[in-house]
Chains A and B, each alone.
Chain A
Amino acid sequence: MEWLERFFPYILAGLSVGGQYALIAIGYTMVYGILRLINFAHGDIFTVAGFIMVYMSATMPLYISIPLTIILTVLLGFTVERVAYKPLREAPRMSIMISAIGMSYLLQNLMWYVTGGLAKQYPVIPFISDSIVVWVTTTKIVTLVTPVLTIVLVILLQQLIHHTKLGMAMRAVSRDFETAKLMGIQINSVISATFIIGSFLAAVGSLLYFSNYPTVTPTVGAMPGLKAFVAAVFGGIGSIPGAVIGALIIGVSENLIKALGYSTFSDAFTFALLIFILLAKPTGLFGEKIIDKV
């Protein structure tokens, strides 16, 4: 019981961080599932959402600025897909990947340009930013809200994928791009829908993340983005439950490593874990089996 009391604060923080990684990781994994593309700009969309919120909340009340931030972020994700990925649909996979990297740097440098590189303080969202005592530790309410909200959103997303027409189209496109097209599925609108969902979750993730860590800089999304990507690969890229479980495992283990006094190695551990998983199970925890058709 004593060790649980000692480690409880770390586990709680880990679940919260994991939940935030999960919301970003879903964006990576969904896009990969459908386009077989790693959308490197996703972490930057997350950061842009943070800045939009900073600027919006300076002039508008929260009940307008929060929905507006989400809408603008979704619009950004949609635009990125239309401008940088759609024209390259028939191009080799490598070209579209390079385009994604370019988009990532473009967004990052735009943020440098607009903000001048200065850190901005994220607005305080009432209620979720309040402190609360949980058993032996004091934390922000958002720490408790994050994992719960993540799981609720994922359940809703699973419903969407398995029980709606759009979800069926998504599954079909992810199974076989060409055939789905021949069957009359509107490929472009399905892909746009994927980007919209991914960006929506990134916006929600950014609200939760920056309420906990209220300093926004242009490069702040790089680390969470990278770890979310690791989580997506860890859980089996293309699988949504896999991404969530991967993210939670990474979040918790990262914090436990710090608790044991090896904080210097916490990031090294995350990436070492990725290598081990890929060696043992190349498709990740919940990855789809690769069947070679002859």
Chain B
Amino acid sequence: MKKLVAIVLALMLVLPVFATGEEYAGTITIGIFEPASGDNGPGGKQETLGMYYAHSLVNTVDLNGKLYKIELVEVDNQTSADKAPAAAQTLVSRNVNVVLGSYGSGASMAGSPIFEAAGIPAIGVSCTNPAVTLGSPLYWRICYTDDFQGDVLANFAYNDLGISTAYTLNMLGEDYGAGLVNYFTKAFEKLGGSVVADTFPEGTSDFSAYLQNAANFGSGVIFSPSSTVYASLLLGQAASMKLEVPFVAGDTWASSVILQAVQNTDTKVYFSDFYDENNKDATEISKEFVTGFKAWLNASPQNLTNNGGNDIIAAVSALGYDAYMTAIEAIKKTETGSAAEIAAALPGVEYEGVTGKIVFDENGDAKKDIAYIKIADTEKLDYIFVTTTSIDTEE
């Protein structure tokens, strides 16, 4: 009797392999390396939503007449550079063929050596720090980088807002903020502006002293690329102090958390973004994505919650969608969809995405040169599009 049970159990383990074998030639696993908790949890979840939406549209690929199934494996890198390596290791041991992520440059850089050692290619989605792809042959990226973004924002503050003094504030030891502040400062000082820099330690919730510093210094703009958790505290306190200085920040602030924080206040918040859902000149692909993704979000309460409780499309969701589709394009160029083949195929990928055309340069960065500058609407939960900027970075 015991033997019989053992045989049945063993068969149950083996049979599913045969079962899939009939339908599919194999399975290609895409790893999602994103924060679902920690400071970047809200953003990471929105990015992941874009990937799941893309997966709901395309979940098989045909390679030489054989149908392969695409599977998603998700890990939570917890926003933190010390926990990201363990999360990356989990993906490696699950034998993923390609990795997407992460939101947040710090986690991407921490996971990078582990993917590289295992020979798994990774596609950065919204990690903008140049160091992510620099010197990492297996890391690609589909968004613009901080040197471009810092330049754009400095130009916007100096030329469009007409401001010559800036106060920068970022979290100590955070790669994203420190990088962006550095590029912003360089560009802003080159234009002729002056900058006072300040940093706050992790876990700060009282920002009144920093805001007071900015006011005392007489700065015309506060440049504070930080995670949305700190941003909402910062904005709330600025509003209660009736501080009239406008805020400028990077792509991270394109989040409904920020919109909620500035409702019914007089605080002006400008930020650069990868994508604009209300863009009138949008391509067909982009329009299709907007309607399709909204319908998909509204169909599931869980998805809506993960998106922050509304169906405003975050730029990172659009990027998540593009990252998945870019991976699929690369897989289509391979024989069996193995990690090594995908890595070899990625440099040659050309894909017309929702956020623009994706072609990689020699560093592995997508050649993107447009940033959308937006302002947060203080009356209803929405963004107002201000301008698109592209800068000739050639010296």
Contacts and interface: CB of A to CB of B under 8 A. Distances in A.
A67 interface: no
B172 interface: yes
A259 B232 contact: no
B199 interface: yes
Nearest to B199: A264
Interface stretch (B63-71, B94-102, B202-210, B268-276): B202-210
B236 A213 contact: yes
B203 A258 contact: no
B203 A264 contact: no
A267 B204 CA distance: 9
B209 A255 contact: yes
Interface string A260-274: 010110110000000
Given A121-B232, A215-B233, A264-B199, A13 B208 contact: yes
Contacts, number: 90
Contact of A9 (B45, B208, B242): B208
B41 interface: yes
B206 A214 contact: no
Contacts of A223: 203-205
B308 to A, nearest CB: 8
Nearest to A7: B212
Contacts of B237: 212-213
Contact of B213 (A212, A214, A222, A261): A261
A257 B20 CA distance: 65
B36 interface: yes
Contact of A220 (B36, B205, B210, B241): B205
Contacts of A217: 229
**In which size bucket is the chain A interface?**
35 or more
B232 A263 contact: no
A51 interface: no
Nearest to A121: B260
Interface string B209-243: 11011001000000000001100110011001110
B213 A258 contact: yes
Interface string A88-128: 00000000000000000000000010001111010000000
A215 B236 CA distance: 9
B76 to A, nearest CB: 8
Contacts of B216: 6
B229 A116 contact: no
Contacts of B208: 9-10, 13, 139, 255
A222 B201 contact: no
Interface in B237-285: 237, 240-242, 257, 260-261
B122 to A, nearest CB: 23
Given A117-B36, A139-B241, A215-B232, A13 B209 contact: yes
6 contacts: A116-B36, A117-B38, A212-B206, A223-B203, A259-B213, A263-B198
Interface of A: 6, 9-10, 13, 17, 112, 116-119, 121, 129, 131, 137-140, 209, 212-215, 217, 219-220, 222-224, 255, 258-259, 261, 263-264, 266-267
List 10 tightest A-B contacts by C-beta distance, closest first: A117-B37, A258-B209, A223-B203, A213-B205, A13-B208, A117-B41, A138-B242, A140-B240, A119-B229, A255-B209
